[in-house]
Amino acid sequence: MSITSKQAEPELGAKSLAVRTKLIDRTVKCEEVARRGQAALAQEVVQTVDLPHQIYIDSAEGPYLTDLDGNRYIDLTGGFGPNVLGNKPEPVEAAMTSQIKKGWHYGIPGAGQARLAELIKECAPAVDEVMFCNSGSEATMFAFRAARAVTGKRVVALFDGSYHGIHDYALVKADSKSDRSTPSSTTLGAGIPEEVSRDLMLMLPYRDTNAYELIRKHKDELALVVIEPVQSSNPRLDNQQFLQGLRDVCTECEVLLMFDEVITGFRIEYGGCQQYFNIKPDLVTYGKAAGGGLPIGVVAGCQRVMNTFSGADDTPGIFAGGTFSGNPLTMAGGIGMLEYLKENQEEVYPYLHEQGDRIAAEINEFCRSNNIPAQMMNAGSMMHLIFGGETIESSRDIDHSHYSLEKEFYLHLLGHNVIIPGIHLAFISFAHKPDVIDQVIDAFKRTFEDLRDDGLI
Ligand SMILES: Cc1ncc(COP(=O)(O)O)c(C=O)c1O
């Protein structure tokens, strides 16, 4: 199996030219909006795939997205994760519609915060209290601050390959040239002082027990160890042993452990990865699905840490707030979503795992038998196609030199009417019924065949 040097600069073969022509010809209105947007927007924040222009969505229903020109796609974007029930699910729409009639932003809280907090607390034994904010990034920012306040220590540890949002303490990455077991960290993008990665953060190796030794070594300055129990860069569920070891070492060293469940919460199981792996962290962050598709972040955890929000029991108080935090419309969306998921969890989650596993198994078998150097990794309904033949132990094993081939792949997939966004992380939902999943698998196979016909794989 190999990927030839053509992949760095793919030459356009007949299939590649044809798909571009097809996509451009059928997206005339999108092109017009793209032209207008370019003149006024500094950055088109949400990306799909690199057409000569962007595709804009006009409406969404169940497993489908429809663009401005009326083209319908099977949606594997999942709204970047929140849409566990698909697009515009009826229970969420009903809850939000009823709230809109009563107004959607009061400043003063409505009854929704208490109800949504109860729902989150009920499904997570680690959670005594909950605090709402507006995004996963805000949640991780508040959580790091709370941990620093309650412990009086400064350093927060993250894992190589993780993503925790867009604030300065989250935009710290492992230097890919550093040793795999003792990674050093660097900031991502301009504008973040290097002191952040040098003095205030510690990078740990993922799925590598040297992480435990580094925690022992740094325990006196470590306020918090943060992990995505399933990393979206390499989604997988074989992390039980590593996570249990991490829980044990954090307990031994009296260092707080946080699960960032912004993606995995209410997606891997109703009770997230805490339920799947049966492990209790000290702090948890949620977002995405918890708001039913409206912007939300949630900091949740044990009483001792959550006391920093109220200053109770003489705990050092942190500053927290936000104009839209806990707004009634988001609370209504979240309640509509979680009440449905709670009620139907025995149907929803086995289905998501079964269909996610089916996609991965069928695509991997197709790649194996056709000698195609790609593999589908999945953790239930969350999946990532990785190019290159390597065994993936962590994101360190992902060969990023195939990026232009990947972009070509997703362009052809769009030509087969399946949409996966530019981050290449795909989600299915409960609305993706088996016949839709069949179409997804078929589109993947046809896309691989396109690339093979053009000599790209
Ligand atoms: C694990 C994790 N944490 C935090 C975030 C940040 O959430 P948001 O994009 O809502 O700020 C994300 C977003 O993808 C995430 O996957």
Give the right CATH number for 90-343 from 3.30.1360.70, 3.40.640.10, 3.10.450.50, 3.40.50.1370. 3.40.640.10
Within 13 Å, how many C-alpha atoms sit on residue 394's CB side? 20
Would you say the CB of residue 228 lies under 6 angstroms from ligand 1? yes
What is the whole-number distance in angstroms between the Cα of residue 227 and the centre of ligand 1?
A: 12
Token reading at 416 = 């087969």
Confidence tier at 170 by pLDDT (50, 70, 90) = very high
What is the whole-number distance in angstroms between the Cα of residue 263 and the centre of ligand 1?
A: 7
pLDDT of residue 311: 93
Contacts of 350 (CB under 8 A, 6+ apart): none
- What are the pLDDT digits (tens) for 215-243? 999 999 999 999 999 999 999 999 999 99
pLDDT at position 2 over 90: no
Mean pLDDT score, 340-347: 98
What is the whole-number distance in angstroms between the Cα of residue 206 and the centre of ligand 1?
A: 18
Nearest CA to ligand 1 atom 4: 164
Would you say the CB of residue 140 lies under 6 angstroms from ligand 1? yes
* Identity of the residue numbered 263: I
pLDDT at position 316 over 90: yes
Confidence tier at 4 by pLDDT (50, 70, 90) = very low
Question: What's the CATH architecture for 5-75+345-453?
Answer: Alpha-Beta Complex (3.90)
- What are the pLDDT digits (tens) for 14-55? 999 999 999 999 999 999 988 888 788 877 666 667 777 888
Radius of gyration, alpha carbons of the chain: 22
What is the whole-number distance in angstroms between the Cα of residue 286 and the centre of ligand 1?
A: 9
Would you say the CB of residue 235 lies under 6 angstroms from ligand 1? no
pLDDT at position 278 over 90: yes
What are φ and ψ of residue 34, in 5° steps?
A: -60, -40
Mean pLDDT score, 432-449: 98
Q: Torsion angle of alpha carbons 160, 164, 170, 175, nearest 10°?
A: 20
The domain limits of the chain are 5-75+345-453, 90-343
Question: Which runs of consecutive H residues, i.e. helices, occur in 299-433?
Answer: 303-310, 328-343, 345-369, 403-415
What is the whole-number distance in angstroms between the Cα of residue 438 and the centre of ligand 1?
A: 29
Strands (DSSP E) found in 269-311: 283-287, 297-301
pLDDT > 70 in the chain, percent:
96
pTM value is 0.95
Confidence tier at 355 by pLDDT (50, 70, 90) = very high
User: How far is the C-alpha of 233 from the C-alpha of 226, rounded, in Å?
Assistant: 16
Instruction: Kindly report the number of other CB atoms within 10 A of residue 302's CB atom.
Output: 18
User: How far is the C-alpha of 119 from the C-alpha of 328, rounded, in Å?
Assistant: 16
Instruction: Kindly report the number of other CB atoms within 10 A of residue 55's CB atom.
Output: 22
Token reading at 438 = 């069949």
Would you say the CB of residue 408 lies under 6 angstroms from ligand 1? no
- The whole-chain average pLDDT of the chain stands at 94
pLDDT of residue 9: 53
pLDDT of residue 46: 65
Which residue, 179, 154, 136, 155, is CA-closest to 297? 136
Who has greater pLDDT, 391 or 449?
A: 449
Element (H, E) at 19: helix 14-25
